């Protein structure tokens, strides 16, 4: 399995503002396609990026994790003393930290780095169980406590999951080892304390917020998550602030979606979840079909829509009006451009779901520098550069 790994510079801004580089690897869809397995996989595992947002929000019930087919961005952390290194998705659509452990012997664990509690002098656990549901299976395991390091930040006594089983086998296709949830505490399975809550309580950040910058072009470096601050070099113009309407997910309200001035979706307003753990921009089938038709995308198998790579300059913006401000997505932003065997292909970054839910994933976040403000329960968007 070949992976595209982008190494990124990591520059510390201040003692309490931590910048973490994110690596962009090939998506699960790309890996399966290269191996000729994508068609069979999609037949048996229908694409449902919204499944993780349809579970009961109780502390005893597992919280679904990831958009299982298209995750791309991950960063480095370490756990324990001496440190054991892992790569994780910083996922704003969930709230638990977990990594594979030596107690798991399934392929999805064996092909990744596994945490060994016996090698850490600071590990402790009461063996409380944790179970986190996702689209095609589940992560199950126990909760433990240990030291977590993110860049030069040290978090003491952080609660995290150690997987003992990962049904479904999908994680074996991905480069990253685990998930670091950046949602609100109310989403955390088994009532686990979130990583960002500990950053705040241990006074490790200047401000109770973090910001995300994602590069979108294949091979481009520079993606990062910044804890405790906002980097003005990553955006232009003013920050547009938007209230979070439900502080569990990072959920905001879209006023409307227009193409060439015509409303194609959300005419009366609709809620949307801003999720770094979903690669595409997802919405209900009818409005997404309207958008696909409006941009001239052509349908192929399993819900994918192709775009003519030579026609981007003639395609319209898709404009999301949020809290009274127009945030346009240009063709270069909503088109996924990939190269296989020197052949360039383009497809739509919009995807439909049968559920009444919008997810502003990496397609949107790549166009707009995104600030997740815990202190004021709001989000900020500014044009990324």
Alpha helices in the chain (DSSP H): 28-34, 38-44, 107-110, 195-201, 285-295, 331-334, 362-365
CA distance 208 to 119: 33
CA distance 72 to 90: 10
Q: What residues are paired with 184 via a beta bridge?
A: none
Q: How far is CA 232 from the centre of its chain?
A: 22
Angstrom distances, CA of residue 161 to CA of 142, 165, 190, 200, 249: 6, 11, 10, 20, 20
Structure tokens at 76: 């480095």
Q: Identify whether 177 is a catalytic site residue.
A: no
Query: At 131, is the secondary structure helix, strand, or coil?
Result: strand
Q: Identify whether 91 is a catalytic site residue.
A: yes
26 with 78: CB under 8 angstroms?
no
Catalytic residue among 70, 91, 362, 373: 91
Catalytic residue among 146, 275, 362, 373: 275
Structure tokens at 224: 């990062």
Phi, psi of 16 (to 5 degrees): -115, 30
Count of other CB atoms within 10 angstroms of residue 343: 7
Residue with tokens 């480095």: 76
Would you name the residues annotated as active-site residues? Answer: 91, 275
């Amino acid at each position: 399995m070949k992976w595209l790994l982008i190494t990124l510079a990591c520059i510390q801004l201040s003692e309490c503002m931590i910048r973490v580089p994110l690596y962009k690897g090939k998506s699960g869809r790309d890996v399966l396609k290269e191996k000729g397995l994508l068609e069979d996989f999609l037949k048996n595992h229908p694409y449902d990026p919204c499944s993780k947002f349809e579970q009961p929000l109780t502390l005893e019930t597992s919280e679904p994790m990831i958009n299982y087919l298209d995750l791309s961005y991950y960063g480095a952390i370490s756990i324990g003393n001496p440190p054991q290194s892992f790569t994780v998705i910083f996922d704003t659509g969930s709230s638990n930290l977990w990594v594979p452990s030596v107690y798991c012997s399934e392929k999805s664990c064996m092909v990744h780095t596994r945490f060994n509690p016996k090698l850490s002098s600071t590990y402790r656990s009461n063996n409380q169980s944790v179970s986190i549901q996702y689209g095609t299976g589940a992560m199950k395991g126990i909760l433990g406590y240990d030291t977590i390091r993110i860049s030069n930040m040290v978090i003491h006594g952080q609660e995290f999951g150690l997987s003992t089983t990962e049904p479904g086998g999908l994680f074996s296709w991905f480069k990253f080892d685990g998930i670091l949830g950046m949602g609100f505490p109310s989403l955390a399975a088994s009532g686990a304390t979130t990583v960002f809550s500990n950053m705040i309580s241990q006074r490790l950040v200047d401000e109770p917020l973090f910001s995300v910058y994602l590069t979108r072009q294949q091979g481009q470096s520079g993606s990062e998550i910044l804890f405790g601050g906002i980097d003005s070099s990553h955006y232009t113009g003013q920050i547009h602030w938007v209230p979070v309407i439900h502080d569990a997910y990072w959920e905001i309200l879209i006023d409307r979606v227009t193409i060439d001035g015509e409303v194609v979706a959300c005419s009366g307003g609709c809620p949307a979840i801003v999720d770094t753990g979903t690669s595409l921009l997802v919405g209900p089938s009818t409005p997404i079909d309207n958008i696909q038709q409006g941009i001239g995308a052509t349908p192929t198998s399993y819900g994918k829509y192709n775009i003519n790579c030579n026609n981007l300059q003639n395609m319209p913006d898709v404009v999301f009006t949020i809290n009274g401000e127009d945030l346009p997505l240009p063709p270069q932003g909503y088109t996924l451009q990939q190269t296989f065997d020197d052949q360039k292909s383009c497809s739509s970054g919009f995807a439909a779901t049968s559920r009444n839910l919008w997810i502003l994933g990496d397609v949107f976040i790549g166009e707009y520098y995104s600030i997740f403000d815990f202190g004021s329960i709001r989000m900020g968007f500014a044009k990324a550069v």
